[in-house]
Structure formats: structure tokens, C-alpha cells
């Protein structure tokens, strides 16, 4: 049955031909009985999951080879809209041939992409993305039954956007790394809020515990607090010339370790910081070359200049480096 036979108008055009075909001709609709599973030498797993927001529900059947954990056969029954049928049909097909651990890694995005006519055009309108989420959730339920664990144990992060499977930690990290200031920017970078939009703010298709507007506001507040703290910390930093000898030694060793020592060691040499003394307007740092650096022609020229230059730039312009 073609799209035009069922619904006319632009909304129907938002469904892919694959979705329409799977709605009307699901390949994996049915059930697996205990007897059929036994004939395959497999364990029968039956999992149910329902979406409270729309009343759709799906039942998933797996025949799992207990020796290999591989899903030998999969069937489904769906109680709901055509999109739920299409999503469940494709989800079931994606499970076959995979181990249970591999099947758990199938996401709702994988299901949605498998229903596309082409890679760049979504298979369903945004408000129907929850159907593929339901398919993802019933896989976790089946895997939990097979392994004897809670289905939620397969979810390691708090998911803010169910449609795009974007976690709270990911959203906060992206905001901070890219200095994002708007919800539109968050969506551009992560796809969170791009589909059903329920995660953006209260009043959407589904209620959420936390929304993008909250995360953006709180994360921006954290960023501002960090700026103030860093500015305060910087204003209280002790200048190199005002440090104690022990503090100066630690800072010099740190700069040498981060910028110089590795190159010396690669050539079979090294350097040791012997002492630091104030001499008029200068801060004299006494060093001792080790290994291949001893007697090297550049020890008192190129290498010495490089060490002195980096210490001046990183610590104090009045530093002089004196080899002993």
C-alpha cells in the first residue's frame, strides 16, 4: 500500500518508504514457542515493554543459544501505532545473529537509521522517535531476563535526550568545551532536542526529570563560578622571585621535566639542579650535566641557551643558568 493510499499531505511524507513497508508487511511479526526454542537447542526469552506516554507496547521473543549467547531467532508482537510496528520489526531483525551482549549495544538511533530510505533523511517525524526508543528499551529488558540482572544495569549514564541517546555528562562537557550559550547550539553539537523536543523544556511530548534549559543554566553558572575562582587564585599566585628556595626548586624542576629533560634523556644525557641563589638583580640557577651531556659541545651553548630561555619565559626574566 502506497503512502497516498493511507494519508495525504506533508505529514505522511515525513515517513520513509521503509517505514511504510514495515508497517504494512512486517517480516518478523509472530511468536516463538517453548517447543520451537527447544528444537533449536535454545532458551526462550520473552520480554514486554510499554511506553506510558502513548500506550504503545511491544513483546520481544528471543531464542538464545546458551553455549554461545547468540540470538538464533527473534520475533515480536506490537500493540500500538504503525511506527511502533515498523520499529519493532526492524529492531527484531537487527538482533538476529548477534550475541546478547552485542544486541544490548543496538540503540534507538540504529533502529531509526535502519528504517531510512537514504542516510541523510530521518525515517519518521520527530514526535515518533519514541517508538524506536521503545524498541531499544525492550532489548535491554530481554537481555536483563537472560542474564538475570536488572535492565537498568545496562545503562551507565543518565540519558537526558532519549531520542538521540545523549547523556547528561556529554551535554555538560560539550557546553563547557565549546562555550555554548543557547539550546540551538546544544542541538547542533549533540542532536539533543532535535527530535520530539520533550527534553528541551517542560510541556513537551513526555515529562523529563531534567531539561536542556536547566542543564544550560546550571552549567553556565558553574562556568562563571570557575572563572571567578580561577581569577581569584591567579591574583594570589606568588611570583617566582618571592618564593622560598624549596618552592623555586620545585618550579624549576617542573619546567625542566615538562620542556627539556625528555630531549636530553633521548640523547643519553640529563641535567641536575644543584642550587638557586639571588645575585643582585639576577636569579642564578646552578646546574650539573649528566651522562652524554657531560663534555658535549653544545652543553655551554645551544643546550644551555635553550634551558635558560624556557626558564625565563615560564618563570622569571631575570634567571641565569650557570653550569658547574
- Identify any residues that bridge with 160 across adjacent strands, giving them in sequence order: none
CA distances from 171 to 71, 126, 161, 164 (A): 34, 20, 10, 12
Per-residue DSSP letter, 165? T
CA distances from 239 to 75, 142, 176, 230, 299 (A): 71, 62, 30, 16, 29
CA distance 110 to 164: 10
3-class state of residue 202 by DSSP:
coil
**Residue whose cell numbers read 622571585:** 241
CA distance 239 to 321: 19
| Residue 76 CA, distance from chain mean position | 31
> Among residues 54, 161, 199, 293, which one is catalytic?
54
CA distance 21 to 85: 10
Active-site residue flag, 54: yes
CA distance 179 to 220: 8
CA distance 183 to 302: 53
Cα angle 138, 140, 141; round to 5:
60
CA distance 284 to 197: 64
Residue 35 burial (10 A CB sphere; 0-12, 13-18, 19+): exposed
> Among residues 95, 131, 161, 293, which one is catalytic?
131
CA distance 200 to 215: 10
Instruction: Give the closest residue to 69 by CA, choosing from 37, 35, 42.
Output: 42
**Run of H or E residues at 323:** strand 319-323
Q: Which residues are catalytic?
A: 54, 131
Amino acid at each position: 500500500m502506497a503512502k497516498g493510499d493511507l494519508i495525504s499531505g506533508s505529514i505522511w511524507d515525513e515517513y520513509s518508504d521503509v517505514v511504510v513497508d514495515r508497517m504494512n508487511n512486517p517480516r518478523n511479526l509472530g511468536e516463538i514457542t517453548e517447543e520451537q526454542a527447544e528444537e533449536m537447542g535454545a532458551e526462550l526469552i520473552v520480554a514486554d515493554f510499554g511506553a506510558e506516554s502513548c500506550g504503545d507496547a511491544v513483546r520481544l521473543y528471543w531464542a538464545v543459544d546458551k553455549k554461545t549467547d547468540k540470538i538464533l531467532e527473534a520475533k515480536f508482537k506490537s500493540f500500538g501505532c504503525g511506527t511502533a510496528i515498523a520499529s519493532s520489526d526492524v529492531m527484531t531483525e537487527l538482533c538476529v545473529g548477534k550475541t546478547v551482549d552485542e544486541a544490548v549495544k543496538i540503540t534507538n538511533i540504529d533502529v531509526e537509521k535502519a528504517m531510512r530510505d537514504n542516510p541523510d533523511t530521518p525515517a519518521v517525524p520527530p514526535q515518533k522517535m519514541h517508538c524506536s526508543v521503545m524498541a531499544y528499551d525492550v532489548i535491554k529488558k530481554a537481555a536483563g531476563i537472560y542474564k538475570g540482572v536488572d535492565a537498568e544495569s545496562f545503562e551507565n549514564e543518565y540519558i537526558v535526550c532519549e531520542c538521540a541517546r545523549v547523556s547528561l555528562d556529554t551535554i555538560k562537557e560539550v557546553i563547557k568545551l565549546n562555550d555554548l550559550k543557547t539550546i540551538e547550539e546544544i542541538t547542533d553539537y549533540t542532536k539533543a532536542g532535535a527530535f520530539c523536543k520533550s527534553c528541551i523544556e517542560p510541556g513537551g511530548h513526555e515529562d523529563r526529570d531534567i531539561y536542556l534549559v536547566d542543564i544550560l543554566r546550571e552549567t553556565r553558572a558553574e562556568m562563571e563560578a570557575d572563572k571567578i575562582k580561577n581569577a581569584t587564585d591567579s591574583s594570589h599566585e606568588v611570583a617566582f622571585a618571592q618564593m622560598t628556595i624549596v618552592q623555586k626548586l620545585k618550579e624549576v624542576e617542573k619546567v625542566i621535566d615538562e620542556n627539556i629533560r625528555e630531549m636530553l634523556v633521548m640523547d643519553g644525557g640529563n641535567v641536575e639542579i644543584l642550587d638557586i641563589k639571588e645575585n643582585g638583580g639576577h636569579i642564578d640557577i646552578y646546574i650539573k650535566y649528566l651522562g652524554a651531556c657531560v663534555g658535549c659541545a653544545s652543553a655551554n651553548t645551544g643546550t644551555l641557551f635553550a634551558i635558560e630561555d624556557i626558564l625565563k619565559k615560564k618563570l622569571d626574566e631575570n634567571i641565569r643558568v650557570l653550569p658547574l
